[in-house]
Amino acid sequence: MGDIGQTFVETVVTLVVVALAALVAIPSLGGAVRSAALRGVTERIRMQMLRARAEAMRTGKATALVFDYEQGGGWTCTIVMDGDGDGVRREDLDAGRDLALESIFQMKENKAGLGILTMVRVPDPSGHGWLGGDLGDPVRAGSGNIMTFTPEGTSSSGTLYFTDGKTNMRALRVFGITARMRALAWRVGWDRWQLAGL
């Protein structure tokens, strides 16, 4: 009988230790899930940019990512090809002169998507001061939130900002003349952005 009582006490102590370890691990697990979702949505858009650039070079027609914000629905993105030789423009898309190549998709994955943290000051990725402008607009890609890739392989310059809505952000920067892309990461408490792997 003594062995059974001792085994029961050991089992209860083990269960308590496991439960405490789980309670400690849950917040970090949530952070890991948010980080993975943030990386995933950034990579998804980077792949769409590569696709648009390849399509522009293959067809000889400007191809763009067109971003829109829908109240209550979040950000969406459509790949659009110039249909009338004057570049991708919203009025041409609305009139059917520019062709949507891919259906619109939502820019959220597990609560990660396009956005800028607003409860803290975010450093400017250029290294000078704080991120300014309209903090409700994470698409900094020229007028009309259109990022265009040309048949020559160049692009419009711009930066897209992504957040997990809690403490982490990513920036995907595109440099026009080369269409080179660079991913940066930042989290609350950091004084500057850092290069991020995709």
Domain of 100, CATH number, reads 3.55.40.10
* Domain-located, residue 162: yes
Mean pLDDT of the chain: 85
**CA angle at 144 for the pair 185 and 79, rounded to the nearest 5°:** 75
33, 41 contact by CB (below 8 A): no
For residue 111, what pLDDT band results from cuts at 50, 70 and 90?
Answer: confident
pLDDT tens-digit readout, 6-46: 676 677 667 666 655 555 545 555 678 888 888 988 999 99
Is residue 158, in this structure, part of any structural domain at all?
A: yes
* Residue 23 forms part of a structural domain: no
Q: Specify if 94 maps to a domain.
A: yes
pLDDT at 12: 67
Q: Is the pLDDT of residue 92 over 90?
A: yes
Structurally, the chain folds into a number of domains equal to 1
pLDDT class for 176, splitting at 50, 70, 90?
A: confident
Q: Which of 156, 174, 74 is nearest to 115 (CA)?
A: 74
pLDDT of residue 88: 93
Sign of CA dihedral 113, 158, 140, 123: positive
Residues 38, 138 contacting (CB under 8 angstroms): no
Task: Note the helical H segments in the chain.
Answer: 2-59, 90-95
Residue 100 has pLDDT above 60, yes or no: yes
> Has residue 72 been placed in a domain?
yes
Q: The whole model's pTM is what? A: 0.82
Q: Rg for the chain (alpha carbons), in Å?
A: 23
Among 64-68, 72-76, 77-81, whose mean pLDDT is lowest?
A: 72-76
* C-alpha to C-alpha distances, 177 to 124, 155, 180, 186, nearest whole angstrom: 22, 6, 8, 26
Q: Is 93 inside any structural domain?
A: yes
Q: Could you give the maximum distance between any two Cα atoms of the chain, in Å?
A: 89
Q: How far are the Cα atoms of 14, 148, 149, 162, 184 from residue 139, in angstroms, in the given order?
A: 51, 13, 16, 9, 15
Q: Which domain holds residue 178?
A: 47-195
Q: How many whole angstroms separate alpha carbon 193 and alpha carbon 183?
A: 10
Residue 152 lies in a domain: yes
Q: What does the alpha-carbon distance between residue 20 and residue 15 come to, in Å, rounded to a whole number? A: 9
33 is a domain residue = no
